[in-house]
Amino acid sequence: MKKLYALTLSMMLLLLVMAGCSTKDNNKQSDAKKQSADKKVELTVSAAASLQDALDDIKADFEKDHPNVKLNYNFGASGTLQQQISQGAPVDLFFSAAEDKFDLLVKKGKIDKKKGEDLVGNDLVLIVPKDSNKGITSFKDLTKATKIALGTPEAVPAGQYGEETLKNLNLWKSVKGKVVYGKDVRQVLTYVESGNVDAGIVYKTDALISSKVKIVATASEKSHTPIIYPVGVIKDSSHLKEAQLFYNYLHSKKSMQIFKKYGFNGLK
């Protein structure tokens, strides 16, 4: 009887231990699933500086709708961003202010053409400080300026478009020596806001966000390459599913309304 009692007790203890282990394993699996569901994915979006305000608004809405995805923006000149991506920078999406910079990444196999699209457009404008008394009211009046701000054409699409416009108006030779170059379109805007230059060439969207400058002229669409902003998912993104999710969100009606609010032109 004693042996039978001892054997029964041992079996009961073994069952209790096994049950405890099973519960722990189930709890661990449950916790792992919960952590996986709660784990935030961080996306890096390299975007033209002129998109900053619109994308900041879109970020707030997107992260509210998708709390498991965090957006990290890298704003700058499209040419500079394109070079960074070409050299292997860990980026998930590229939103360029020029088709040629975007197409270079498509040709290099960094972006699948099927996962990229021209999304919005913009206008090129001439701005002066709000209290300017230089009498600059058109592009032809730039001959009156002492200093003119322009994005570096090789890296900044707005600078490229600006140079094209000035050449088409036969003004480039007479104003070239007065140009002060900016690393991106926002720096050009800052130069004009501060009064360090007499005028600058920026996108309409940049001019509209500043109370320190005024638009005095808009460049004819025929005077420069069409201003088109393509966006696409980087092929070697570590988070293709989430990158595609944000790409689709940028095409949504809600996002397009935000772009238009900041002065961008819809292409659809």
Q: Which residues line the annotated binding site?
A: 50, 78, 158, 185, 203
Query: Facing residues of 214 across strands?
Result: 128
Q: How far is C-alpha 122 from the geometric centre of its chain's CA atoms?
A: 15
Binding site members for molybdate: 50, 78, 158, 185, 203
**Residue where the block lists tokens 């509210």:** 64
Give the whole-angstrom CA distance, residue 80 versus residue 189. 18
- Where helices occur in the chain by DSSP H, the ranges are 2-38, 52-65, 78-86, 99-107, 157-168, 172-175, 185-194, 204-208, 240-250, 253-261
Give the tokens for residue 242: 């989430």
